[in-house]
Structure 1
Amino acid sequence: MVTSKTIANGIVRAVAILAGLYVLLLFIFSVKTVLLYLFIALLVSMIASPVVQFLKRKLHFPHILAVVTTLVFFILLMAGFIMLFVPLIISQSENLSLLDTDKLEQDVMSVVGEINNYFGIDTKKIISDADLTSKINFNFIPNLLNSILSILSNFGIGFASVLFITFFFLKDRKIVSVNVKKILPDAHQGKILISLNKINYLLSRYFIGLIIQITVLFAMYLTVLLIFGVENAFIIAFITALLNIIPYIGPLVATALVIILTLLGHLGPEAQNDMFSTTLYVFIGYCIAQIIDNNVSTPLIYSSSVNSHPLEIFIVILASGFVFGIMGMIVAVPLYTSIKVVAKEFWPKNPIVKVLTKDI
């Protein structure tokens, strides 16, 4: 017979468990940036590990030298990416000096007039009543460029932290592996090791697919920009294609960025007449490229590489974005895949785990 004391003890236990989970979640949220750095460093170390092994086996590098050389190689790649922005910013700054704001405003009003004639809408009266022309500031572009530079400078702190953690992950890889095996309980050691091998396999496929996706997008973006004669086409195509590593938001940012850069590239006295038409064509070209990517490349990566349904991935990325921001969206798929693999090994009979991991 269940007594009131037993019920009270059960309630107290449940409250204690909930309180403990709440405290744990608060702690995780407070150190979320550190956890992100650790996870990103783990992913980078997994990617860099084959390079380290190649240097040791084929070129007979000492272990420390191989690790340092690999990290220097990655730093140079990152530096090369950042340096891509330099000629782009210089050229756009030169274009800004040629900006004729009066001419630009006239062009905008001319487009408004054409819309008015085509649709039969008195847009001039609407704009006049809303006093939009006095609120439009055509000098917003330099402020946007300054914001981009600020984001890049803040990115440096995270990059240095990840690099430092990655160095020790690679340097002490064997020591970490041995110590982890000592800590692991004998009853679950086999399951954990199997999980790690599966995670490594699935994430390798995911990153390979992501590289292929970015390459295909780069080719399509470059083709569009070259057709319409956009300045710095190679650099813009590369940057906008690389933004695709940010799920869902990346393509939107890439489209907005290419619109701004195309407008900036047509600020000269002669080119300004074709500003809006060229930008519209580039926008359409980017939209077509993204439609192809969304219907071909993305489903293949998510369904084939990590064996997850696109809707499932969308919900995970959205939730991770709300909690951890942009970096959370980037690492959402690898982290979720890792959790699914571990869940299948340890709770294979759980109904929810069965549904989510049926294809793993």
Structure 2
Amino acid sequence: MRSYILAKGIIKAISFFLGLGLLLFVLYQLRTLIIYLVIAAVLTLLCRPLVYFFRERLNISKTLGAVIALVIALAIMSGLGLMFVPMLAEQTKQIAVYDPENIQVELDKVYEKISEYSGASKQDVADAVKETEIEKSVMEEMDDEEGPTLMDRLINILTQLSIGLLSVLFMSFFMLKDHSSIQRFLLAMIPKEHRKQTISSLDKIKDLLSRYFLGLVLQIFILFIIYAITLYLVGTENALIVSFFCALFNIIPYAGPVIGAVFMALLTLTSHSDIDFSNGALPLVGYVLIGVTIGQLVDNFISQPFIYSNSVKSHPMEIFVIIIASGLLFGIMGMMVAVPMYAVLKVIIKEFYWRNGFVRFWTKGI
């Protein structure tokens, strides 16, 4: 009898791990579809207030409201594309025609400026660079003749982006139009005794996440304006596109602003390679870092408190611990999704365990 029970337990354990492995394998194979669904869900949450406004204030049907909201979102994305794609195309064209000999000349200029500023000889700087194999890597990339295949890669990327965009818009439309049907489908899988709490949780989650992502867009826009003004004033090339991508880096908590600052500082140096290093380029880098500091002060003391107070209703220390813990467990992606997932968790726990005194204290205000 004991051997039968033991064998049965072993079979159940093996079946569980096999099923789990199969599920993870299927999810990995469908990772592109999952990414499309996540992006569509975020776009739906961003457009949801517009659809609600059209329906309640302008008496526009949900279907037409969803179409108008997505057209507005598509127009904004197209505007950003029209603004940034020509700059990217110009940079791509420049990369495609790079001559390895010109790269060597530019590296020599960098050697000379670093030598003058640090007091080291040119040979010492060259030896240090060779030890890190930076120059070797750069020259190998340039000699690899990637330029002629760049257009093929670009076409492939544009094709994938077009398919992804159409898929996201299609899914977002039906999420906006038929969200009640989707909700009923999900509720059909929930036991009847828990459906009331589930409905309340879903409604609160949609409201909180909508406010969170709208606040995140506002946060990125504010940083983009501050960075763009800073880079424009110091004369950094392609200030708009650089500031936009550096503002996007801010999505990565704590590490993102540092990456953006380093990126802007390096591009500022390369944009002013023809001026004196210590008396010209370095002060400009200092001005860029001052602009980054101003942007981060605005972000930390105005933007983020506004976003967190209207979404997760949590103390900054609480958010800090959650983000760091998520980063340690799941890496950068964990840090990026930590705050919205934490908000979802708090809502669910409050709805199902509201009688607990600690839960009422922890989730107060949600």
TM-score under structure 1 length normalisation:
0.73
Conserved 8 A contact 1:245-1:330: yes
Task: Give, in whole Å, the separation in 2 of the partners of 1:231 and 1:240.
Answer: 14
Once residues 133 and 3 of structure 1 are traced to their aligned partners in structure 2, the CA distance between those partners, rounded to angstroms, is: 65
| In structure 2, C-alpha distance between the alignment counterparts of 1:133 and 1:165, rounded to whole Å | 45
User: What does residue 239 of structure 2 align with?
Assistant: 233
* Structure 2 residue 105 is matched with structure 1 residue 82: no
Native 8 Å contact 1:37 1:161 kept in 2:
yes
Is residue 112 of structure 2 the alignment partner of residue 110 of structure 1?
yes
Mapped partners of 1:245, 1:152: distance in 2 = 23
- Range with greater deviation from structure 2 (187-196 or 304-313): 304-313
* Closer, same or farther: CA 76–216 of 1 in aligned 2, 3 Å: closer
TM-aligned CA deviation for residue 69 of structure 1: 1.7
The alpha-carbon distance between structure 1 residues 343 and 18, as it changes in their structure 2 partners (threshold 3 A), is farther
Query: Secondary structure of 1:309's match?
Result: helix
CA–CA distance in structure 2, aligned partners of residues 286 and 140 of structure 1? 34
The CA RMSD over aligned residues, in Å, is 4.6
* Contact map agreement 2:223 2:299 (CA 8 A) in 1: no
Q: Cα 1:73–1:133, aligned 2, differ >3 Å: closer, same or farther?
A: closer
Deviation per residue, 1:151-208 (Å, 9 max, x gap): 9634443332211111111222233334444453211101111211221233234224
2:199 maps to amino acid: L
After TM superposition, the structure 1 = structure 2 runs for residues 212-251 of structure 1, keeping only pairs within 5 Å, are 212-247=218-253, 250-251=256-257
CA–CA distance in structure 1, aligned partners of residues 146 and 354 of structure 2: 53
SS of residue paired to 1:61: coil
Q: 2:168 aligns with which of 157, 162, 165?
A: 162
* 1:211 matched to 2:210: no
2:200 alignment counterpart: 194
Q: How does 1:12-51 map to 2 (within 5 A)?
A: 12-51=11-50
SS at match of 1:84: helix
Matched residue, 1:68: 67
3-state DSSP of counterpart to 1:230: coil
Q: Which amino acid aligns with 2:109?
A: D
Equivalents in 1 of 2:121, 2:331: separation in Å?
A: 42
Matching of residue 135 in structure 1 with residue 136 in structure 2: yes
TM-score (norm 2): 0.72
Distance 1:189 1:262, change over 3 A: same
Structure 1: distance between partners of 2:169 and 2:244:
23
Structure 2 letter corresponding to 1:314? I
- In the TM superposition, what is the alpha-carbon distance from 1:343 to its structure 2 partner? 4.6
Q: Distance in 1 between matches of 2:31 and 2:266?
A: 33
Greater relative contact order (CA < 8 Å, ≥ 6 in sequence): 1
Residue identity over aligned pairs, in percent, reads: 30
Give 1:33 shift.
2.8
Superposed displacement of residue 282, structure 1: 5.3
Instruction: Give the aligned partner of residue 325 of structure 2.
Output: 315
**Per the alignment, in what secondary structure is the counterpart of residue 184 of structure 1?**
coil
Q: Measure how far apart 1:108 and its partner are.
A: 1.4
Match of 1:337 among 333, 343, 349: 343
Q: Say if 2:301 is the partner of 1:300.
A: no
1:176 counterpart = 2:186: no
Does the CA contact (< 8 Å) of 1:221 and 1:241 recur in 2?
yes
Secondary structure of 2:58 counterpart: coil
Task: Structure 1 unaligned segments of length 5 or more: list them.
Answer: none
